[in-house]
Structure 1
Amino acid sequence: MEITGIITALIVGLIIGALGRLIVPGKQHLPIWLTLVLGIVAAFLGGWIASFFTTAWFLVLIVQVLVAAAIVYLADGMYSKNTGKTA
């Protein structure tokens, strides 16, 4: 992957993290910086998963956002248990 592709993935990852947080219902206990980091991870992971099925950018984006929502949901559950907060 070229450097421009990595920079683009980082920027898209930030947006995907925000979209993933919006999809998860209820109040999240995650700090915003952690949500954005999880979005970057989801962008790479979702892009990798989607590459097995399609190269259409909108389908890849949908998979990335769904992966981000799942990761934010799981991380929020673990984060709220570790901090002692309840939902």
Structure 2
Amino acid sequence: YALVDYVNFKGEGVLENESYNEVRWGLLQVLENMCGRDRDISALDEFVLNAKKLLKQRVLNAPAGIDESGWLSGWERRLDSYVDAFYVFG
């Protein structure tokens, strides 16, 4: 659920329009930033933490005149739903 939804939600991270200031926020970038076994958290929790970090960076890198800060809390709730769904259906 998390991987498919994130692609539909924020993209794969391979297109030019999926970046601000040459910093991308798609699925590829979330996965590239994951450390795996070096961290003492589940892969799903690490995925959500990395996605939140990238989306916060997206807000900071937005071009002048584009204020996406109002979207951030909704994006974070959507990411949190991945963990909630795992515990309900997993």
The normalised TM-score by structure 2 is 0.39
Q: Could you say which structure has the higher strand fraction?
A: 2
Which structure shows the bigger proportion of residues in helix conformation? 1
**Higher RCO structure, 1 or 2 (CA under 8 Å, sep 6+):** 1
TM-score by length of 1: 0.40
